[in-house]
Amino acid sequence: MVDLSGNESSATYFILIGLPGLEEAQFWLAFPLCSLYFIAVLGNLTIIYIVWTERSLHEPMYIFLCMLSGLDVLISTSSMPKMMAIFWFNSTTIQFDACLLQMFAIHSLTGMESTVLLAMAFDRYVAICHPLRHATVLTLPRVTKIGMAAVVRGVALMAPLPFFIKHLPFCRSNILSHSYCLHQDVMKLACADIRVNIIYGLIVIISAIGLDSLLISLSYLLILKTVLGLTHEAQAKAFGTCVSHVCAVFIFYVPFIGLSMVHRFDKRHDSLLPVIMANTYLLVPPVLNPIVYGVKTKEIRQRILRLFHVTTHTSDP
């Protein structure tokens, strides 16, 4: 517990406020949120199962998709159970170490997902711009190493986070404005200079999200340059293989960048906007990614229909 007399002390627990101003409606809002969570878990586990059991899908694009689905399940699971406990059972208390673990998991998994999206962009670049080299560049062992590198990178970027948070004194309040623990939210409660935390956060965002989004944009510029020189039929086929990934990129980066901007420029402590955007950032991508890939990727769509014993007589153009 923080020292309410104003003396510097370490927090032993925090209070997660949930949805500021909507406390009375939280119980009912939890039902659609819980439904979205189960849709996200079911959809992503279905993608993983299909790719795992279908040997014809053991290709780099689908293996990276499998990694993306696994990360989506972990990201949503890192926050949703506690969020449901807040909304349904008013379990607003979270121990300091549990808060730190949740914070580390969310941020490190986010870094991993950004790396996987970059790897998927690289896969599309090689497949379209250098198709004859695709099989030799993106071999199964190399794809595995890329996946391991994504994990190591995400963990390494967040390794200093527990140190920076544990050494902060908390004497103002122990009430967090979100439904789960975020670095931006926790460090604002400290009664010490947090410039180191701010600089660290900026370095992580620039070196991970900023660099990855720049390289993804560059890869698609090169892809666009190559595709424009193809026939109309080849252009349609090339764009068709990229649509799902482009959607996944926008679904992931737009809420993340929006949340970062709101945290930086919205100074109102009781604002509901950052909370809504934070929940969107952790829940919407895991829900939409399987839907996008299920609808736009012919191979995934056919196997989903087969899995659920649905027959279709329509043919793809």
Radius of gyration of the chain from Cα atoms? 21
> 20: domain CATH number?
1.20.1070.10
Q: Give the number of other CB atoms < 10 A from CB of residue 123.
A: 25
Distance CA 252, CA 246 (A): 10
Q: Is residue 231 part of a domain?
A: yes
Tens digits of per-residue pLDDT, 29-61? 889 889 999 999 999 999 999 999 888 888 999
- What pLDDT score was predicted for residue 296? 81
Beta bridge partners of 176: 16
Query: Collapsing DSSP states into helix, strand and coil, what is residue 131?
Result: helix
Q: Name the residue type at position 54.
A: E
Confidence of residue 283 (pLDDT cuts 50, 70, 90): confident
Q: Does 314 have pLDDT greater than 50?
A: no
Tens digits of per-residue pLDDT, 221-272? 999 998 888 778 878 887 888 888 999 999 999 888 877 777 666 655 556 7
Mean pLDDT of the region 121-135: 92
Average pLDDT of the chain is 85
Distance CA 96, CA 94 (A): 6
Buried b (16+ CB within 10 A) or exposed e, 85-112: bbbeeeebebebeebbebbbbbbbbbbb
Tens digits of per-residue pLDDT, 136-161? 999 999 999 999 999 999 999 999 99
Q: Lowest-pLDDT range, 101-110, 181-190, 261-270, 291-300? A: 261-270
Contact 282, 102 (CB under 8 A): no
Q: What is the DSSP string of 210-270?
A: IHHHHHHHHHHHHHHHHHTTS-HHHHHHHHHHHHHHHHHHHHHHHHHHHHHHHHHH---TT
Tens digits of per-residue pLDDT, 172-196? 678 888 888 888 888 888 888 888 8
How many structural domains does the chain have? 1
Q: Does 279 have pLDDT greater than 50?
A: yes
Contact 197, 168 (CB under 8 A): yes
Q: Is residue 30 part of a domain?
A: yes
- What pLDDT score was predicted for residue 176? 85
Confidence of residue 118 (pLDDT cuts 50, 70, 90): very high
Q: Is residue 192 part of a domain?
A: yes
Through-space distance between the first and last CA atoms of the chain, rounded to whole angstroms: 63
Q: Is residue 25 part of a domain?
A: yes
Q: Is residue 8 part of a domain?
A: no
What residue numbers bound the domain in which 127 lies? Answer: 13-299
**Beta 93-95 vs 175-176: how paired, if at all?**
unpaired
Candidate ranges 6-15, 118-127, 167-176, 237-246; pick with highest mean pLDDT: 118-127
Q: Is residue 315 part of a domain?
A: no
**Beta 13-16 vs 93-95: how paired, if at all?**
antiparallel
Q: Is residue 226 part of a domain?
A: yes
93: closest CA among 153, 155, 12?
12
Q: Is residue 155 part of a domain?
A: yes
